[in-house]
Chains A and B, each alone.
Chain A
Amino acid sequence: MNEKRLIALSGAVIGFLGVLLVYLGNAANYGICVACFIRDIAGGLGLHRAEVVQYLRPEVAGFILGAFLIALFMGEFRARGGSSPLIRFIIGFIVIVGALVFLGCPLRMVLRLAAGDLNALLGLAGFIAGIYLGIFFLRKGFSLGRYHNLSSSNGYVLPVLAVILLILVAVKPAFIFFSESGPGSMYPPIVVSLIAGAIIGLLVQRSRLCMAGGIRDLILIKDPHLFYGTLSLFVLALVGNLAFGYFDLGFVDQPIAHNDGLWNFIGMLVVGLGSILLGGCPLRQIIMGSEGDSDAGITFLGMLTGAAFMHNFGLAASPDGVPQNGQIATVLALIALLAIAFKNVEVGITSKPSKSVASGIKK
């Protein structure tokens, strides 16, 4: 299959699955949300005690195992790491801060839009603004440094964690939390979530679909390739929402959303900028982590930790809006992100074409 068809097909299947998973049991406009699922996992592990969002979402284990197995099969599994792991952990943490203020990862933002939730438009504007900001730093020479090959055991960590999460959600030991009400209590049978997640993991690994990359490449190199994926995801989710009767156009009373436009914008600005600095959206991080990229694996753990903090300290948004402390946390997160971006700008080649060290270009 050629690249263009694969990316369009991947977007379409994921967009449709995003709606189908709601039909099969997930909460409204909550078919797929990487940030929310990670937050639910943090809750299921008891890392936060927000009782309505605790469930070890098997979709995430599916993302990881689907991507891991296909990468292994296609010879693309390679354990690597060492590109500013601690900074990536922090950026992962910060991306989740932004996502839980908006209430969704970039993928859920597209799904919310496709269901008529116009608050996501403000999120999209913020996301694009964040991507523009990220591109500014990329053009200045932003880099988190080179990764190196590692022993293969590093690459197995995330898949093993996924298997452990699956065992825990299936066996339901007493120390694992399960929401009794709210979005965390709504889900399809484990096997359905797992299979849907694995299909998504497989497709994203093969097609390289990335919500942040789509817009980034469109602006940075005028290449619409990845954006076709975002577009087909939106269109199929829109068709699905219309077909299932989920489409409801407006700002008010949208499922698991608030209508504070400013914080929807700022939240997704943080997600956009953070995703560009990391080299991909939260879903893409999980997929790369599953291909053996331990830096992306650490980013996943940063996101998990960030989600736990957001709910432990009452910082995350809810349909009532963004708590004041959550607003402060978001601003601090943005400042930290900008500091990281400024500190990691290397000297570009255009000013000194004869130098070869920092730029990676040899004459």
Chain B
Amino acid sequence: MSGDKDKKTVDARGKSCPEPVVLTRKALESFKDQEIEVIIDSPVAKENITRMAKNQGYKIDVEEKDEEFCLKITK
């Protein structure tokens, strides 16, 4: 999805709660210190992932496009 070698993308569109959070968490654990991009299409998942990332000390940047959200999570 992205040419950037240091960026990993989690495509959690269509995944129901709490799968987007579980997938994001696994990605954060697996690819430490790299930017994780999460694509989701549910406001609930956006809130949950944002809360989890902030609680764990990550920075999170949210972009909304049509019905989708792109979250960029960095240390």
Contact = CB atoms under 8 A, between A and B. Distances in A.
Interface of A: 3, 76, 78, 80, 83, 138-139, 143-149, 208, 213, 216-217, 220-223, 225, 279-280, 295, 348-350, 353, 359-363
Nearest to A83: B16
A143 B15 contact: yes
A363 B25 contact: no
B52 interface: yes
Interface of B: 1, 8-19, 21-23, 25-27, 29-31, 43-44, 47-48, 51-52, 55, 67
Contacts of B17: 213, 279-280
A149 B21 CA distance: 21
The 10 A-B residue pairs with the shortest CB-CB distance, nearest first, are A146-B14, A279-B16, A279-B17, A362-B9, A147-B14, A362-B1, A361-B10, A360-B11, A349-B26, A221-B52
Nearest to A217: B18
A192 B47 CA distance: 33
Nearest to A145: B14
Query: Chain A interface mostly helix, strand, loop or mixed?
Result: loop
A145 B14 CA distance: 8
A278 to B, nearest CB: 8
B14 A148 contact: yes
Contact of A295 (B16, B18, B26, B55): B16
8 contacts: A80-B14, A146-B13, A146-B15, A217-B18, A221-B21, A222-B55, A279-B19, A359-B26
